[in-house]
């Protein structure tokens, strides 16, 4: 398999995952903000922060209104991380990888792109926006379905899986950043009152609520949610699970020795993290370290198999 | 439903119409199609066009247009009314096209070796030396089977009372064949019943034929040669086609940076498992960008050392570098003589009469008759830099007067042909629009011609410019056998 092709499939998967994550995050945030009373110290700026685009947003906008945040996160082509920009890049990548996957996979992404482009105005109105986001999430899932159902477990498949899981693990740690706000010692009385609902929304933003409830049959508590999202080996959005998937892919690709040596200690370290005794400040450091490690992991993948090291 | 004929407003002009003769009668070749369209009625036809256009978008059949706002990916312009050619007529065109490419390849091989044609006085030597597509780096090369132009797209036009001429031969990186195949896929969707009841030659075996031809070029006989399609990348106007052909052939689609030439003068591609040797490259990059070691030094599209590997006989390039020397529109004028000289045969397909501005006498004539002629630069393609005299403004004519006087070698002129027309769906009715035809001819160990080709149509009323980059459209082309 060409290094270039591998790189394109990897980025295709990363950008599609990012598209889906953005849709789900915005959707969950909408739900949350409409439920919360005024005065709770949570808003669209938190979402911008999670997506790592707060600084870029502030350069372009004076106020962090819902309209501005939505525009920036969903349809602004000047924001390389916006839903439309991610989807556009994903489409470019699959357009240039058509010879490697079932036709339906390309047609699915292409249709979703055309849908997004033709319905940009929908995101301005809350009700239509929810439908728009739902359609995008479904489109991404259909793609995943085609790949799961019609693609041989070959190198192409593994690079797609690799990209998806690197992106997903990274996003999960970003969403866990919410925890540093929700667990802050100086959080308001009102925030404490709505705490359970906030944590439920964290789980929802990763489609993790049901699976979490099935596993942990008690009242939802913050630190347990964080622990679950970090260390659960079975839930697809949990960091531990993503790393196991990445490890599986790596083992079956050529020249994988160095990467295997890199990822093994990462998995061990994650299981050693004790969220129960972590302060919000320590949690932030842990999450920052993890995100840096994912970046190194990406560099390593790139150096091993891609054209551009 | 309205009962009036969909043909009642269809008026053929002076030009030959492919479907309706001057008396308003449907030609025999098109009888079934004409009746069928009439039965459908205009509203249904329009409905089917919408379905076709939706399919084109979803399947992502596009081409890229360069514009001030960046590169735009446009949906492929498809006209729903097919263009028909009788099987028997086509058989003789097919033989004529093979004959022509054979002679062209003899000529190119001769130009880069003994130059008999020139020494025997059939072509002034300075026309070769001054050709923008002559590559002195290729002198002395003898590609396998003596074939330099392995893939050729010749443009045919029908003029006068139905006579078919060759307008030009594209021997560098001709494009359009993927659209020929996709047009048929779309037509099958919109007119399934019609295609089932008529005997129409299929067009989708082209990728198989291309693969076989490319395999025959492999320098060393291997079980399964490694074949790569070399593309300039996603921003090239024909990228869709490069990806399409690679996918259909099961070949690798590579860019320059995927390839490397090592000290052993062999070409390798970078894969996730390391380097893999490449035997045949179907390159869709112009000569001058192929190898920064030899041609443009700052070309980021090419591969350093590619010419070295080719000259050492370790990799086949199709088309061979330098093949474009016969693509020059001045050289075109000499093709009928080439056919006689190399093959000792009479040309089956005629050339369009051509005035060479390099000849002072002919140049004088051209300058005096600019408003009647079509003037083309010798080394351009895609319909760029052309003057269509009868449609030009006084200012444009003056501009070309200057251009030609300044560099006569670079221009040729031809009488403005009344290109044949074909019914085309324009808004709510069928109207005659000018068309041409680009068949694709392969020559490696064997020769092959596509069944028909890509019919291009000038969508503006009266316009003669059919190039998609200039707003032209396309039609599915049917070679129809009416003998049961």
Is residue B272 within 8 A of residue B265, CB to CB? The reply is no
Looking at the DSSP assignment, which residues form a beta bridge with residue B156?
B166, B437
Token pair belonging to B453 = 């080709």
Share of chain A above pLDDT 70, in %: 99
> Considering only alpha carbons, which residue of chain B is nearest residue A250?
B272
Give residue B381's pLDDT: 63
The alpha carbon of residue B254 is apart from the nearest alpha carbon of chain A, in Å, by 8
Domain boundaries, chain B: 220-314, 355-415
CA distance A36 to B193: 61
Tell me which residues of chain A, numbers 100 to 159, contact chain B at a CB-CB cutoff of 8 Å: 106-107, 110-111, 114, 155
Q: Is the peptide bond before B319 cis (omega within 30 degrees of 0)?
A: yes
> Considering only alpha carbons, which residue of chain A is nearest residue B273?
A254
Is residue B224 within 8 A of residue B278, CB to CB? The reply is no
Give residue B66's pLDDT: 66
Residues 6+ apart with CB under 8 A from A63: none
Interface confidence, given as ipTM, is 0.81
The domain defined by B355-415 carries CATH number 3.30.1490.270: yes
Is residue A270 within 8 A of residue A239, CB to CB? The reply is yes
CB atoms within 10 A of CB B470: 16
B70 or A277, higher pLDDT: A277
Q: Does B255 touch chain A (CB under 8 A)?
A: yes
Q: Does B70 touch chain A (CB under 8 A)?
A: no
- The answer to whether the CB atoms of A6 and B272 lie below 8 A apart is yes
CA distance B75 to A114: 12
CA distance B442 to B426: 35
Residue A51's pLDDT band (cuts 50, 70, 90): confident
* pLDDT per position as a tens digit, A137-151: 999 999 999 999 999
In this complex, the residue of B57, B59, B271 whose CB is nearest that of residue A2 is: B271
Identify the three-state secondary structure at position B376. Answer: strand
* pLDDT per position as a tens digit, A56-96: 999 999 999 999 999 999 999 999 999 999 999 999 899 88
B174 half-sphere exposure, CB direction, 13 A CA radius: 24
Give residue B2's pLDDT: 44
- Is the pLDDT at A275 greater than 70? The verdict is yes
* pTM, full prediction: 0.86
Domain boundaries, chain A: 3-305
The mean pLDDT value for A42-69 works out to 89
Q: Is B255 left (phi over 0), alpha (psi -120 to 50) or beta?
A: beta
Give residue B277's pLDDT: 96
Residues of A in contact with B243 (CB under 8 A): 95-96, 98-99
Q: Does A3 touch chain B (CB under 8 A)?
A: yes
Give residue B318's pLDDT: 97
In this complex, the residue of A4, A96, A98 whose CB is nearest that of residue B258 is: A4
The domain defined by B220-314 carries CATH number 3.40.50.11290: yes
Give residue B70's pLDDT: 63
- How large is the greatest C-alpha to C-alpha distance in chain B, in angstroms? 75
**Selection from B57, B237, B258, B72 nearest residue A106 by Cα:** B57
In this complex, the residue of B246, B258, B273 whose CB is nearest that of residue A99 is: B246
Give residue A59's pLDDT: 93
Give residue A186's pLDDT: 83
In this complex, the residue of B59, B234, B270 whose CB is nearest that of residue A2 is: B270
CB atoms within 10 A of CB B397: 16
Is residue B151 within 8 A of residue B319, CB to CB? The reply is yes
Token pair belonging to A152 = 């041989």
β-strand pairing of B78-86 with B473-480: parallel
- Is the pLDDT at A260 greater than 70? The verdict is yes
**Selection from A91, A179, A190, A75 nearest residue A140 by Cα:** A91
B411 half-sphere exposure, CB direction, 13 A CA radius: 27
Question: Which helix or strand (DSSP H or E) is residue B80 part of?
Answer: strand B78-86
Tell me which residues of chain A, numbers 232 to 261, contact chain B at a CB-CB cutoff of 8 Å: 253-255
Give residue B240's pLDDT: 87
What φ, ψ does residue B2 adopt, rounded to 5°? -70, 145
DSSP state of B320: P
Give residue B59's pLDDT: 84
Identify the three-state secondary structure at position B477. Answer: strand
Token pair belonging to A277 = 């005794």
The alpha carbon of residue B278 is apart from the nearest alpha carbon of chain A, in Å, by 12
- pLDDT < 50 positions in chain B: 1-3
Residues 6+ apart with CB under 8 A from B356: B330, B333, B362, B363, B412
Q: Does B247 touch chain A (CB under 8 A)?
A: yes
- Is the pLDDT at A221 greater than 70? The verdict is yes
The alpha carbon of residue B273 is apart from the nearest alpha carbon of chain A, in Å, by 5
* pLDDT per position as a tens digit, B84-136: 999 999 999 999 999 999 999 999 999 999 999 999 999 999 899 888 899 99
């Amino acid at each position: 398999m060409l290094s270039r092709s591998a790189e394109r499939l990897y980025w295709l998967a990363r950008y599609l995952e990012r598209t889906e994550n953005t849709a789900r995050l915005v959707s969950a945030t909408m739900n949350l903000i409409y439920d919360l009373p005024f005065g709770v110290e949570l808003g669209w700026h938190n979402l911008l922060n999670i997506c790592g685009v707060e600084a870029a947003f502030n350069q372009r906008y004076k106020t962090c209104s819902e309209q501005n945040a939505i525009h920036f996160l969903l349809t602004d082509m000047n924001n390389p991380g916006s839903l439309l920009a991610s989807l556009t890049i994903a489409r470019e990548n699959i357009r240039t990888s058509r010879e490697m996957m079932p036709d339906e996979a390309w047609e699915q992404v292409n249709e979703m792109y055309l849908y997004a482009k033709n319905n940009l105005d929908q995101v301005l109105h809350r009700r239509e926006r929810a439908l728009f986001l739902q359609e995008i999430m479904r489109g991404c899932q259909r793609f995943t379905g085609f790949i799961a159902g019609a693609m041989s477990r070959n190198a192409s498949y593994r690079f797609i899986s690799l990209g998806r899981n690197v992106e997903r693990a990274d996003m999960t740690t970003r969403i866990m950043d919410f925890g540093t706000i929700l667990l802050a010692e100086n959080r308001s009385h009102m925030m404490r009152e709505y705490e359970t609902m906030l944590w439920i929304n964290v789980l929802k933003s990763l489609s993790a609520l049901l699976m979490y409830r099935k596993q942990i049959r008690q009242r939802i508590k913050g630190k347990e949610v964080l622990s679950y999202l970090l260390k659960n080996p079975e839930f697809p959005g949990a960091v531990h699970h993503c790393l196991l998937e990445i490890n599986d892919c790596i083992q079956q690709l050529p020249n994988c020795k160095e990467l295997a040596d890199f990822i093994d200690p990462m998995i061990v370290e994650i299981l050693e993290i004790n969220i129960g005794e972590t302060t919000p400040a320590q949690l932030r450091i842990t999450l920052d370290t993890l995100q840096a490690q994912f970046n190194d992991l990406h560099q390593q993948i790139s150096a091993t198999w891609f054209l551009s090291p | 439903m309205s009962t009036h004929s969909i043909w009642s407003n269809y008026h053929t002009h002076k030009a030959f119409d492919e479907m309706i003769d001057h008396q308003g009668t449907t030609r025999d070749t098109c009888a079934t199609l004409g009746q069928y369209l009439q039965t459908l009625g205009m509203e249904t036809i329009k409905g089917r066009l919408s379905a076709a256009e939706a399919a084109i978008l979803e399947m992502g059949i596009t081409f890229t247009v360069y514009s001030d706002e960046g590169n735009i990916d446009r949906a492929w312009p498809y006209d729903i009314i097919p263009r028909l050619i009788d099987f028997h007529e086509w058989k003789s065109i097919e033989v004529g096209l093979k004959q022509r490419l054979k002679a062209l390849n003899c000529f190119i091989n001769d130009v880069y070796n003994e130059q008999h044609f020139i020494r025997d006085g059939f072509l002034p030597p300075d026309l070769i030396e001054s050709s923008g597509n002559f590559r002195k780096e290729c002198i002395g090369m003898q590609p396998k089977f003596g074939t330099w132009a392995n893939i050729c797209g010749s443009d045919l036009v029908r003029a006068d009372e139905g006579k078919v001429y060759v307008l030009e031969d594209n021997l560098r990186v001709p494009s359009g064949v993927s659209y020929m195949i996709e047009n048929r896929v779309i037509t099958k969707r919109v007119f399934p019943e019609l295609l089932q009841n008529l005997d129409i030659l299929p067009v989708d075996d082209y990728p198989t034929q291309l693969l076989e031809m490319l395999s025959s070029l492999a320098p060393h006989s291997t079980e399964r040669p490694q074949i790569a399609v070399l593309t300039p990348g996603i921003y090239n106007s024909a990228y869709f086609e490069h990806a399409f052909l690679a996918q259909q052939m099961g070949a690798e689609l590579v860019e320059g940076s995927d390839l490397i030439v090592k000290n052993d003068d062999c070409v390798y591609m970078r894969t996730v498992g390391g380097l893999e040797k490449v035997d045949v490259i179907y390159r869709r990059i112009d000569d001058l960008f192929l190898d920064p070691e030899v041609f443009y030094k700052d070309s980021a599209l090419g591969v350093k050392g590619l010419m070295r590997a080719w000259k050492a006989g370790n990799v086949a390039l199709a088309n061979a570098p330098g093949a474009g020397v016969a693509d020059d529109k001045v050289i075109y004028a000499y093709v009928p003589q080439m056919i006689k000289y190399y093959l000792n045969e009479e040309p089956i397909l005629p050339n369009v009469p051509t005035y060479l501005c390099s000849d002072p006498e002919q140049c004088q004539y051209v300058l005096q008759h600019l408003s009647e002629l079509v003037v083309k630069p010798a080394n351009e393609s895609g319909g760029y830099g052309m003057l269509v005299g009868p449609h030009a403004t006084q200012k444009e004519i003056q501009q070309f007067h200057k251009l030609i006087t300044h560099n006569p070698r670079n221009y040729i002129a031809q009488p403005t042909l009344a290109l044949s027309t074909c019914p085309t769906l324009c808004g709510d009715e069928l109207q005659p629009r000018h068309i041409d035809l680009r068949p694709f001819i392969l020559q490696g160990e064997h020769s092959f011609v596509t069944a028909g080709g890509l019919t291009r149509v000038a969508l503006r009323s009266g316009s003669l410019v059919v190039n998609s980059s200039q707003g032209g459209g396309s039609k599915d082309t049917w070679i129809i056998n009416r003998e049961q």
